[in-house]
Amino acid sequence: MTERIVLAYSGGLDTSVAIGWIGEATGAEVIAVAVDVGQGGESLETIRQRALGCGAVEAYVADASDEFANEYCVPTLKANALYQGHYPLVSAISRPVIVKHLVKAAREFGATTVAHGCTGKGNDQVRFEVGIQTLGPDLKCIAPVRDLALTRDKAIAFAEEKGLPIETTKKNPYSIDQNVWGRAVETGYLEDIWNAPTKDIYDYTATPEFPPAPDEVTISFEAGVPVAIDGVKVTPLQAIKELNRRAGAQGVGRIDVVEDRLVGIKSREIYEAPGAMALITAHKHLEDITVEREQARFKATVGQRWAELVYDGQWFSPLKRSLDAFIEDTQKYVSGDIRMTLHGGQAIVNGRRSDTSLYDFSLATYDTGDTFDQSQAKGFIELWGMSAKVASGRDIRVAGK
């Protein structure tokens, strides 16, 4: 039986050419796998027909947009995950769901190898291959761009020679990846980190310098999951899409950062994540009133480590699963409403309410009705500072000798 290779297929030039390129280099049949994670653009059927037209023996297509929102975006939201304090893991969280479908397709079609279109200097090669090794340890991995010397100029020449049904003459200077959680742009003009981004690179967000009138929105959560926008029930996917639209119109969620890639280099990235950043902001403010202080402090550390693991391609790791369990436990009482104003590139919270809030007005107020016993504060301070006071006395005593 002829060997079969499953290819992660985007419908673009490189992966379209990779179908024939892999076939010629290995003699294997190629099954193209396209996964919709809310990236928009062409229909899955159009992409499927292009894959077949480029020589794939079969094309597996999956609408995973709800799956992506529920099982990947929501956990990221619950973790308030921002890699290096900035990046909401736009590409990093889409790779595991694609991997899941690649392995499923490999089993379905009897493939022994999985291929992806990543280069040898990015993070995605790690995310794909570590995920594949974990879910399908018997499967081999190849990367045509990295392993079979498929450069862009060779891809264009191959497509023209074979008459493939793919645009080859239009050259975009940027590398772009997008899904419903956000959009990532890199390379080209942006590789000089002194250069400011030009307006043409943005798509999910309008310029914040000249915003429309402020947009006030109320987001409702149940156990950390967004369930309504302005009182209208929504699924997580609908919540993300609606806030992409509304926050994007106000220029919310533009991120320009130089980040540390897993492979050891620094890379300048431009991200647009209006829905993600609005939701993370709202969720964090709701946690501020519903999560106990020490639990919240430790969760911030857990969330940071969670983001690093996911960025580094360890979505399916034992530690990630353990951190998931802790994060999920913290979400038990994260229910309520957050009101925020979207305007001029900012999402500013100006109201919060929850039936499970730890905020006690009678303890917090300085006016009549205050129930806080201030007489207890003096003794508390004496005990709280005792160890530092004793240590300071020792320091003074030893220094005087």
Is the pLDDT score of 302 beyond 60?
A: yes
Question: What residue spans define the domains of the chain?
Answer: 4-171, 176-291+333-353, 364-399
- Token pair recorded at residue 2: 């002829």
Average pLDDT rounded to a whole number, residues 118-144: 93
Q: Is 248 annotated as a binding residue?
A: no
14 is catalytic: yes
Q: Is 24 annotated as a binding residue?
A: no
Average pLDDT rounded to a whole number, residues 306-324: 98
Q: What gap in Å lies between CA 296 and CA 264, rounded to an integer?
A: 31
CATH of 364-399, one of 1.10.260, 1.20.5, 1.10.3470, 2.40.160: 1.20.5
Single-letter amino acid, residue 137: P
Question: What percent of the chain stands above pLDDT 70?
Answer: 98
Catalytic residue among 4, 48, 95, 254: 95
Q: Is 91 annotated as a binding residue?
A: no
Structural contact between residues 100 and 135, judged by C-beta atoms closer than 8 angstroms: yes
Provide the mean pLDDT of the chain: 93
Average pLDDT rounded to a whole number, residues 44-57: 93
- Token pair recorded at residue 295: 């639990």
Structural contact between residues 356 and 290, judged by C-beta atoms closer than 8 angstroms: yes
Is the pLDDT score of 176 beyond 90?
A: no
Q: What is the pLDDT of residue 169?
A: 54
Superfamily of 4-171 according to CATH: HUPs (3.40.50.620)
370 is catalytic: no
| DSSP-assigned letter for residue 190 | G
| DSSP-assigned letter for residue 265 | -
Q: Provide the 10 A C-beta neighbour count for residue 377.
A: 11
Average pLDDT rounded to a whole number, residues 394-400: 92
95 is catalytic: yes
Q: What gap in Å lies between CA 155 and CA 95, rounded to an integer?
A: 24
Catalytic residue among 91, 124, 220, 267: 124
Average pLDDT rounded to a whole number, residues 34-61: 92
Is the pLDDT score of 297 beyond 90?
A: yes
With respect to CATH, is domain 176-291+333-353 assigned 3.90.1260.10?
A: yes
Average pLDDT rounded to a whole number, residues 293-317: 98
Q: Is 333 annotated as a binding residue?
A: no
- Token pair recorded at residue 109: 């079609």
Of 243, 217, 263, the C-alpha closest to 73 is: 243
Q: Is 360 annotated as a binding residue?
A: no
Average pLDDT rounded to a whole number, residues 393-399: 93
Residue reference for tokens 């106990």 = 292
Q: Is 9 annotated as a binding residue?
A: yes
Average pLDDT rounded to a whole number, residues 349-356: 98
Average pLDDT rounded to a whole number, residues 312-326: 98
Q: What gap in Å lies between CA 47 and CA 178, rounded to an integer?
A: 16
Average pLDDT rounded to a whole number, residues 200-208: 95
Catalytic residue among 63, 66, 147, 175: 175
230 is catalytic: no
Is the pLDDT score of 314 beyond 90?
A: yes
Kindly report the backbone phi and psi dihedral angles of residue 90, in degrees, each rounded to the nearest multiple of 5, phi listed first.
-50, -55
Is the pLDDT score of 367 beyond 90?
A: no
Of 50, 71, 38, the C-alpha closest to 316 is: 71
| DSSP-assigned letter for residue 73 | I
Structural contact between residues 291 and 79, judged by C-beta atoms closer than 8 angstroms: no
pLDDT category, 101, cuts 50, 70, 90? Answer: very high
Average pLDDT rounded to a whole number, residues 286-313: 98
Hey, which residues does 219 pair with through a beta bridge?
A: 229, 338
Residue reference for tokens 């030893």 = 398
Full-model pTM: 0.94
Average pLDDT rounded to a whole number, residues 47-63: 94
